[in-house]
Each structure stands twice: as C-alpha cells, then as structure tokens.
Chain A
Amino acid sequence: MATLLIRGGRVIDPASRRDGRFDVLVDHGKIADIQPAISANGAKTIDATGKLVVPGFVDLHTHLRQPGREDKETIESGCTAAVRGGFTTICAMPNTSPAVDHRGVVDLIHQEAQRVGLASVQVVGAITKGREGRELTDFGELFEAGCVALSDDGNPVADGFLMRRALEYARLFDRPLIQHAEDPALAAGGVMHEGLISTTLGLHGIPSEAESVMVARDLALAELTGGWVHFAHLSCAQSVGLIRQAKRRGLRVTCEVTPHHLALTHEAIGEFDTRAKVNPPLRTEADREALIEGLRDGTIDCIATDHAPHTDWEKEADFDSAPFGISGLETALGVCVETLVTPGALTWSQLIEKLSVNPAKIAGLEGGTLSLGTLAAITLVDPEARWTVDPMAFASKGKCSPFAGQGLTGRVAAVILGDRVVSGGEGASKNSGG
C-alpha cells in the first residue's frame, strides 16, 4: 500500500532532466511513481502546491564536533539543523577528538546517527593519524567502515611527499582525498584576507596565494599520481583559474565552495566582527565573482556548507582569539537563492545540481536524485518565502552567523526521509511579512 503522496509541486530532478508539475508517490520508503496526476488511494497526502519538490541536499562538509566538543554541536543537534536546512545527507568531517583516524570512531558516529534517525550521516576519515600530517591512516579499514572520502580538514596535508603517497594509495579505493588547501607557512598567524581591510584593522592577513599555491601543487601531484583530489571550500579567483585549466586537461579533480564565500567579502568583518571570521577567509568582490563564475561554468562542482559551529563565548572574543567558522546548515538554501537564483546566476535546476546531484556523486552515494526505486530523500522548498535569519532559533548549537538579521528568500518547507516527514522547517527563522 502506498504510504505518502506529494501532490501538486514543481518537481525538479536534474538527474532525469525533469522539471514540471508532478505528483510523487513514496511507497515503503522508496520513490514509487512520478506522474502528472496520481490518485491518493488512501495514502497520506502532502499538498506541495507552490512548492519545489527536489532531491534532498547533500552536504560534503559538515563539522558535527562529536566526539569531543559536544558543547559546540552533537550529532543530534547537527542532524536536526541539517534537516531544517533541507539536507538529507551530511558528510561529517574528521577533526573530532579523537580524530576519525580508525574504525572505532567511524562506527561510533554511524551508531549515534542511526539512533538520532534524521539526516543520513556519512563519515569522512582522516588522511593522517591524528590529522598530524605525518603517518597515513589505514585507508582500507576506513573505507571498509564506510568512509566516503578522506581529509585532514582544518589542517592541510602540507608535506608534498605524503600527499603524493596518499593520492597514489587512494587510487585503490576510487574515492577522493579532500584537501584543505592552505600553505601553513604563508597563512601562519593570519586571521583574515590580506588586503586593504586587514591593513586598516591591523590584523594579520592570509594572502590568496596561501590557498592557490597548494591548489597548484596538488593539481601537479594529481597529474603525477592519477589520484583524485577534491578541494574543500575554495575562496579565491586564482584557485578557480587553476582548477578550470586542470579540468580542461582532463585531471581528476573536483571542488566545492561555501554559501558564505559566494555571498560575502572581507568587508563583512566591519569593525572586528568575528561572525565573519572563517577559514579560508572571506576575500574580495573579484574573488566572489570568480567563484560564482566557476560555479556557473562547471569548474566548481558543488556547494558545501563548511558548517563549523562554536560556542558563543568562544566567538565573542577578540578577532585573533576567536575560532574560525560559522553555523551554515540552516542558512545555506536561503543564501544560495539570494546570491545565485534571484540575480539569475543559476537556475533552480542548476542550484539543485550543486546542492544535491553533484555532491552525492562525489561522495559516491545513491542520493541526489528522485529516481524510481531509490530511497526517498526529498526536500520541499518554498521558493518565494521571505524570512529573517535569527540564529537564536537555529537547531544547531552554533548560533554564530554572518547572516544574522538578514532577509532571505527561499526556505525549506519540509523534508521527507523514507515515509516520514521529519522537518517542517519551522524554528530556524521567523517569518518576515506576509
């Protein structure tokens, strides 16, 4: 017996090039039928009139903080934030304590995610033991435990020899190594983009080249080894240019960009506003435009949140001491609509490719589509809804957002996982007007 009917919405499924008014039938947790009109036949019906019905978003870059810093976030609070933001799958980064450098931590995260029962949590393991950049982890064990990729995120793999060996060895598993591209010596001591604003504020800058020299090195190593490198959170025009050329040459390289790097520049720091302290730093308007262009022409494969929750007391410090990172899961869609769809940089279908289809492919997951027979992971979007970001209403424990108080268009109306409607989108915001 059919269990759930999503009726009357605009179904956008880039993988099948479907974009139009359809009913979607979910049966036993799987997508059973998509037709212009389906009879309810006793199924519970969700009226999706005026809504977009899209494959649930997949975040390649989420910091869940558990185990180790449960005061910043837990798997439960992070997963709740994810579904509020329309994400049905999130990839947990390995910079926990202990780091995800052996099977036990992978299992622990999977078990807790299972208990929570919200977004699907995939695990990114560490490339080196303790993320210290010295000794490789047991890649085979980590991939057997279910890791979808490996990364030392938060730290780069700085040693070129080690990165070469990692890329070579990872070829056995056909999975990407996610590089946090940052030359540690060039970035040392820096807290924001190096430019006019760092000069004005007397803050130590991180030049764009701290990222681009590492991107250039790893592209050369990918060419040498045939390995698959995925660059996390790109921030500058130089990196986009290098990756564009590398893709033309046919190298196996993928990359992501965050909503905040697409929406903001270093000007958001204003008078030492730590809500705009992220790593890599927010850069210039020219960089922001280059990132959007990279997204448009396919150089940048996907959008990932780099959701990096911190406690208020840590962020309410001087700019040097405050940690890098912001809460991103619950604002990602609205920021992308405001920054990309409304100005006409991307169509809705292209945005869904960047939020769902492509990250699922990179993570090697079945999701990201509304194909018949796949597990139902569906997000309903109200594309016209205006709302104001209120971080205190976030489900995430991290209440720090550079978008606080900003009006956004487009919000998640509901998330369907299997036969369940797990999120109505309330709470993360207050409605403004209408």
Chain B
Amino acid sequence: MAAIAATDRATQTARWTKKDLLGLRELTAEEIRLILQTAESFREISLRPIKKVPALRGKTVVNLFFEPSTRTRISFELAAKRLSADIVNISPQGSSLSKGETVLDTVRNLEALKVDILVIRHAAAGVPHLVARRANASVINAGDGAHEHPTQALLDCFTIQEKKGRVEGLNVSIIGDIAHSRVARSNIWGLTKLGARVTVCGPPTLMPPQIEQLGSADGGAGVTVTHELASAIRGADVLMLLRIQHERQEAMLVPSLREYRLRYGITRERLTLAKPDVLIMHPGPVNRGVELDSSVADGPYSVILDQVTNGLAVRMAVLYLVSGAPKVEEEEG
C-alpha cells in the first residue's frame, strides 16, 4: 500500500521537462500519464459555450504539414485556437516546400519569424527529430513516415482509459498493415509502457522483422505476433484497426483488397468471437468494406468518433506542456 501511495505521489508531482514530443518510445510511463492527466483537465473546455482559455495567448504555433492531412491538422489547429495561440498552417501546395527547399532551410526561415511550436507531419521518418536537434522552437511530431504518431497513440490510450477505466492489464490487438504504420509503433510503445498486453495481427508481408521485440526495451513483455485474425479477436478488450492503403497492392504486400477483407476484415460475424464489451478503434480514415465493415464502424462497439473528440484534448495538453507554460492548477490557484 505504501509503495502504491508513493507511486501515486510521484505521478502527481511529475513535471514535463522535454522541449519536444517526438515519440512515445522515449517517454516514461510517468510522462505519458502526465499528458493523459493534463488532457483530462482540458477536456471540458471544448464543452463550454465559449470554447477558449488564455493558456497559450501570445504563443505562435506553426502547422508544418509536408504531407496532406485533414483530421490531424484540424485537430491541432483547433487545439491551438482553444488555448488562444496564434496558428499558421503551411502545406506543400503553393509554398516553398514544393520548390525544393530543404527542410532545415524552411525551419530556419520560420525560426527567424520567432515561432514557438512547430507541429510537423512528414512522409519521411525522423524529420521531426532532425528539426528538433536544430530548432529552438518546440517540435511536436504529428506523424513521421512509418515511425511514430505520438498524439494519435496518446488519444487512443486516453480513449481506452475513458471507456475501460484503465489501460493496465488489458488485451489490445492491433490489426492491419503493421509494417507501414506509425500509429501501430506509437501505440505499441504507449500501451506496453502503461501495462497493456499488445498483440499485432496481419499477414507476414505486413509484419516488419523482429516486431515482437518492440516494447520490451524497459523489461516489458514485448509484443505477440499472430497471423490468425480469430486469435487476435478472442479475448481482446480492444481491437484497433489500421487503414489498408491501396498502394500496398502494387507493392505485392497483399494480393488484393478483396483477399485482405476475406482474411482480415472485421465483419459483424467475426465480432461474435469477441468479448461482449470489446472496443473497436480506428485512427481514420476508414476504408469501409476493407479493414472494417460499415456495420461495425458505425456499430455499438465503435468508439471511432470518441477518438476524434479526445484527440482535441490530448493535443491541447501536448501543446500546453511543451510550451512550458505553468500548470493549469497553479494558474487557477
């Protein structure tokens, strides 16, 4: 009991010390919990008639999206606005990003304009890390190649905690294109650090080598790999589906989308194997009729839209923490 109380206190007093949020691999469980707790305190702001607090007034956030994105970009934009930050959106079309300027030159120019936070999305893994090493501004990774998408995994953890009351001890199955998924990697790190048991499921062509060793760095159990959908569904508390991209067919990773659906698509019939209180999650956008049938995506187990709602609170928390602003409680007190 004493040990538990001590741990609780340590969690309560944890402070955010990092300039950037680059991934969940480098975060401790305490840091992840701190973000989730902070998000909890921000959630009700979006339920107010006037959805705005002055926490980041005077701060400038840049959404630097080298790759097209709708939901993540808008989620960050609204999160920044609800915290009263100024936000600028930069996308590839009609900017120097499409004129062959190097990433670092783009960032140097933005830094010359004295911005505070760079939210970066890029098709190449490691771009946020490259920028973070060189920039004074805080960097938030909004998805880098197949590497990490930390705010997506944080909102997934937040949603699981909200619906299940805990993450620790739950069985979470991630199903789909694990090899090319930044969402899968960030969730593996986040969920295993918070004590969940993670299973990844998909055909061998979509499974990167030695994936079972991910998440075992801190002495954790690692990840269980299965190629059989039924064993990923049975006993799972959460089924997390990943988008199958059409271009994977061309790379001969799956013979056809039809074949994929036949073996790995979540249909209503297959859900009968699942626990009665299973959660269906998807980072979006959903390929209806491929990885997820419409009846399941819109069905009673689906929390896909709750994920989107929670994404806002989580991104507010991340913006707030990396900005180095004082904690909410202190401000109020």
Contact = CB atoms under 8 A, between A and B. Distances in A.
A320 B127 CA distance: 9
A199 B25 CA distance: 13
Contact of B147 (A196, A202, A321): A202
A173 to B, nearest CB: 41
A202 B104 contact: no
B214 interface: yes
A205 interface: yes
Nearest to B211: A199
B126 interface: yes
Interface string B116-157: 000000101111011000000000000011111000000000
A301 interface: no
A196 B126 contact: no
Nearest to B25: A200
Contacts of A313: 102, 104
Interface residues of B, number: 24
B185 interface: yes
A198 interface: yes
Contact of B124 (A194, A199, A200, A319): A319
Interface in A42-95: none
Given A200-B25, A202-B145, A202-B148, A321 B214 contact: no
Contacts of B127: 318
A198 B208 contact: yes
A202 B209 contact: no
B209 A201 contact: no
Contacts of A318: 103, 122, 124-127, 130
Interface string B93-112: 00000000011100000000
A202 B144 contact: yes
B126 to A, nearest CB: 3
A198 B208 CA distance: 9
Given A200-B25, A320-B145, A205 B209 contact: yes
Contacts of B125: 201-203, 272, 318-320
Nearest to A319: B126
Given A272-B126, A319-B125, A196 B209 contact: yes
A200 B212 CA distance: 11
A384 interface: no
A316 B148 CA distance: 21
A202 B130 contact: no
B210 interface: yes
B126 A271 contact: yes
Contacts of A316: 102, 104, 130
Nearest to A270: B129
Contact of A317 (B103, B147, B211): B103
Chain A interface, >50% SS class: loop
Interface in A300-323: 313, 316-321
B213 interface: yes
A271 B147 CA distance: 11
A202 B187 CA distance: 13
Contacts of B213: 196
B205 to A, nearest CB: 13
A202 B146 contact: yes
A201 B214 contact: no
Nearest to B182: A202
A152 B122 CA distance: 33
A203 B127 CA distance: 12
Nearest to B145: A202
A205 B146 CA distance: 12
B185 A272 contact: no
A316 B211 CA distance: 29
B25 to A, nearest CB: 7
Contact of B145 (A195, A200, A203, A205): A203
Contacts of B146: 202-204
Interface string B195-222: 0000000000000111101100000000
Contact of B210 (A195, A202, A203): A195
Interface string A316-357: 111111000000000000000000000000000000000000
A319 B208 CA distance: 18
Contacts of B102: 313, 316-317
Contacts of B124: 318-321
A321 B124 CA distance: 8
Contacts of A204: 146
A320 B130 CA distance: 12
A196 B210 CA distance: 5
B2 to A, nearest CB: 37
B130 A317 contact: yes
A194 B211 CA distance: 12
A272 B214 contact: no
Nearest to A321: B124
- Among B124, B144, B211, max chain A CB count under 10 A is at B124
B125 to A, nearest CB: 4
A201 B130 contact: no
20 contacts: A195-B210, A196-B209, A198-B208, A199-B208, A201-B126, A202-B125, A202-B145, A202-B147, A202-B148, A203-B125, A203-B147, A205-B208, A272-B126, A272-B129, A272-B130, A316-B130, A317-B104, A318-B127, A319-B124, A320-B145
Given A205-B208, A271-B129, 12 more contacts: A195-B210, A196-B210, A200-B185, A200-B214, A202-B182, A202-B185, A203-B145, A204-B146, A272-B126, A316-B130, A319-B124, A320-B124
3 A-B pairs with the lowest CB-CB distances in the bound complex, closest first: A272-B126, A202-B147, A202-B146
